[in-house]
Amino acid sequence: MTPEQIRALVRTIPDHPKPGILFRDVTTLLLHAEGFAAAIDHLAASVPGRPDLVAGMEARGFVVATALALRLGAGLLLVRKDGKLPGETIAEDYALEYGTDRLTMHVDACTPGATVLLADDLIATGGTALAAARLVRRAGGEIVGARFLIDLPDLGGAEKLKADGIDTHSLLPFEGH
């Protein structure tokens, strides 16, 4: 499937979570086996080499990261919301499009020197991905890139990641927010 065919599988929900927002819903893409597989194939083809780990951010990022990790032959690193992981964690606060939040990961989830690819369903302002990158770097990992199904370029997140030295690629840009 082409990116445009995959794009047609993403549902847009107007005025969610608040008036004026066009919510790009990937759940309709995930329901389509051929489309989801093709989207992951396209993302995997854009990754040079093989990272040690693919880091997925809660929650839809887990789905994308798991599929990419399997396709790339990499391990899976879960980056969770605060309070969800047992054991010792490190945390990073970050700004969301609609507020603030905190991400955590286990202190031993990423060994020093591990190469890590970030993965999520969507990049908007970049706050979540940058917080995940800071966590990985604090653990001694090396961010080798970031991959997203959807980019909302009007919100500038991908550009922020690139300015931070992160190779960033998204399959489907959607103008507007």
Among the options 58, 71, 97, 134, which is catalytic? Answer: 97
Q: Is 60 a catalytic residue?
A: yes
Q: Which of 60, 71, 134, 138 is catalytic?
A: 60
CATH code of the domain in which 115 resides: 3.40.50.2020
CA dihedral 30, 32, 35, 36 (to 10 degrees): 30
Q: Is 40 within a domain?
A: no
pTM for the predicted model, two decimal places = 0.95
The answer to whether residue 21 is domain-embedded is no
For residue 63, is it within any domain?
A: yes
State how many domains the chain has: 1
Per-residue confidence (pLDDT) for residue 95, from 0 to 100: 74
> What pLDDT is attached to residue 177?
56
Which segments within 48-160 are labelled E, that is strand?
Answer: 53-57, 75-81, 89-96, 99-106, 115-123, 142-151
pLDDT of residue 17: 86
Q: Phi and psi dihedrals of 58, rounded to 5?
A: -60, 135
Known catalytic residue: 147?
no
Give residue 94's pLDDT. Answer: 87
The per-residue pLDDT for 97 is 61
**Per-residue model confidence (pLDDT) at position 100:** 83
Q: Give pLDDT < 70 ranges for the chain.
A: 96-98, 177
* Residue reference for tokens 């969770």: 80
Is position 14 within any domain?
A: no
